Structure 1
Amino acid sequence: MPVDDPFLSRAFGLLWESDRPLDQFMASVESGAADVTVRRQTHLQDRRGGTPINNGEVFADGARFRFGDATFDVFGGERVDWASPSDDAVPAAFFGTVVAIVLAWRGLVPLHGSAVEIDGQAVLLAGPSGAGKSTLCDALVRRGGKLVSDDLSVMKPVADGGVPVLLPGRPAIRLFPGGSPSEGIKHLQPAPMVDPDRELPLGSLVLLQPSAMAAGPAGASEALSAQLFRPRWMQVLPHRQTRLASLFYASRSITMFTLPGAKDRPDISIDDKADHLMSRLSNTGGLDPRFGE
């Protein structure tokens, strides 16, 4: 059903139209047809015959995802209906798994990591939960980088010999108050961001982990493929082979290295990591034994 005054947002290269604000996306004043419409419903229709996966099912025409008391119905990569007895605003869960499902259905490659633009290229920061991706992302922004995406990053499909590019996501980073997990839950904090219509070549992958990745092309491909967002969902959503091929081709052209995560070396400050990473990216720094070099 058309909405008289819809809320328009720009994220991941798409125009999103909703009957409620998508407050984690950048507001837009564009005209023209939206790529994705989002609507709250009083109740959702039954959907049968789906393949169960985590907190939902995948169907021939889309997917259903549940989080708390909210339920989201994705129809292809073009429409999301949702219902919740307790939320009037779009639930926060929409901006993670639900958006990733929409993007995957459209043939894009969702990745679990934060990305910053440095010297015209995107640097993807990846690692397990608690490794410090968002904190390092924030530190790089404070050193002059610009935010590309936080937590959910999205790559366009890549053909053999092509250049991998990332699409800008939300204009904020989820951070703990005061920078410490002991000080509460994470909150979104706005950050200087690249132009939301800009496509950023992916130049580097930084893995926040204690050990070096396996050497050679196979190790690089495995390291990048391991960063798929919600990998169990990605196994059963459309365009699986395109995603796998894109990750393989992308791994051939980007630089990859590791830094210890927050839990691996708590003695190394986030500022030291950010400074070391900046020197690595600019090829101006020497070896530092603290980082396993």
Structure 2
Amino acid sequence: MKPTDPKSLTESAAGVFTYRSYGLVIRSEIVLPEFDPATPGGAPVQVAIRRGPVALPEGVRALGAWFEFSDSGVRFWWQAVGGFAVSADGSEVTVEYGAGVSDDLIAFPLLGPVLSEVLRRQGLFVLHASSVAFEGQGLALMADKGTGKSTTATALLRAGARLLADDLVAIRPDQNSIVPGFGQVKLAEEALTQLPEGSAVPRPHVHDQIDKIRVLVPGLMAPEPVPARRLYVLVRGGGSEARIERPATGEMVPALLRFAYADRFGRAGPQGAEAARQFRDAVAVARHSAVRRLILPDGVTELDKVIAAIRTDLGEAP
């Protein structure tokens, strides 16, 4: 049965769906085919997603985008999509649909910035990155937009890796493990050829301003958490070779904080005790995982050189 078939979802009589993702049991009033279905009434529900109004300050609905972090949680607003509220402990998410907005469009912020706050508030360190389990090791690929983290991740999948996450990489700082998320990647059209044959289920285009293709790859997911071994910062080198460099020790934590998902919110993001916890988590992750710079060659035809460089690097001492 295709992953996008609604009949493959686990649904209660009340139209509420039960899923499992990032090690969490999620009860949702919104259809999310990206997530793995779970059996209702099994493990305790840790996150509840419901439809409903989101209280917003006066004037916010006239803005294109807005968000606010506080001790009671975080609220988001996108005029083209709707409003979202996450509780202080990340256990509840309220979703207010904009007029005419589909579940597919709601899923873009819901499974991005909104879910990042759910995970962070559940005690995970969240990177804006892609991640795979490769030859028994957990790898995270961090990069600025357009550098090629998803393309590199799919090349690793073609080489036998298993997907841990694309876009939201969640690490348990106390265990130094990367937790599997959900089986979807977002790719430029030319990168689709890097996926193993027969593994991809492209999804419909949603919005004119979204240029990447969403592809379900549930059969390529890693089944369980994997120790975080290497955290690569991807850089375009402008040549035909791939190489891996060791940054100075003092550069490792700043690199992780730069690519922490919460950093995307700037100064309006986590403050005070929450910001201090984010720093402590980054230190813990950097202490147990090796941060490296991965210099990429130009062109998708050279990605086999990237795989070879990673294999060599993993064979070296931590």
Q: TM-score band (shorter)?
A: 0.7 to 0.9
8 Å contact 1:213–1:220 — kept in the other structure? no
- Which of residues 27, 36, 42 in structure 1 aligns to 2:47? 36
Counterpart of 1:193?
221
Q: Distance in 1 between matches of 2:113 and 2:234?
A: 22
Counterpart of 2:29?
19
Q: Distance in 1 between matches of 2:272 and 2:249?
A: 26
Deviation at 1:261, TM superposition (A): 4.5
TM-score w.r.t. the length of structure 2 is 0.75
For 1:242, the aligned partner's letter is R
Counterpart of 1:169?
181
TM-score w.r.t. the length of structure 1 is 0.81
8 Å contact 1:38–1:81 — kept in the other structure? yes
For 1:223, the aligned partner's letter is A
What secondary structure is seen at the aligned counterpart in 1 of 2:251?
helix
Q: Distance in 2 between matches of 1:267 and 1:20?
A: 36
Gap change, CA 1:127 and 1:46, over 3 Å in 2: closer
What secondary structure is seen at the aligned counterpart in 2 of 1:96?
helix
For 1:25, the aligned partner's letter is F
Gap change, CA 1:34 and 1:204, over 3 Å in 2: same
8 Å contact 1:107–1:243 — kept in the other structure? no
For 1:216, the aligned partner's letter is A
Deviation at 1:278, TM superposition (A): 2.8
1:108-165 per-position Cα deviation (integer Å, ceiling 9, x unaligned): 211111111012221011110111000000000111110001011011133xxxx511
Q: Does 1:205 align with 2:237?
A: no
Range with greater deviation from structure 2 (267-276 or 127-136): 267-276
For 1:33, the aligned partner's letter is P
Q: Distance in 2 between matches of 1:143 and 1:122?
A: 15
Range with greater deviation from structure 2 (216-225 or 199-208): 216-225
Q: Distance in 1 between matches of 2:277 and 2:308?
A: 36
Q: Distance in 2 between matches of 1:34 and 1:224?
A: 30
Work out the number of aligned pairs and report it. 266
Q: Distance in 2 between matches of 1:128 and 1:189?
A: 21
Counterpart of 2:309?
276
- Which of residues 56, 68, 81 in structure 2 aligns to 1:57? 68
Structure 2 stretches of 5 or more lacking a match? 1-11, 59-64, 193-209, 238-243
Deviation at 1:267, TM superposition (A): 8.5
More helix by share: 2
8 Å contact 2:178–2:226 — kept in the other structure? yes
1:30-71 per-position Cα deviation (integer Å, ceiling 9, x unaligned): 524311111122x333469xxxxx721123311111122311
Q: Distance in 1 between matches of 2:56 and 2:285?
A: 40
Counterpart of 1:255?
290
For 1:276, the aligned partner's letter is A
Q: Distance in 1 between matches of 2:190 and 2:81?
A: 31
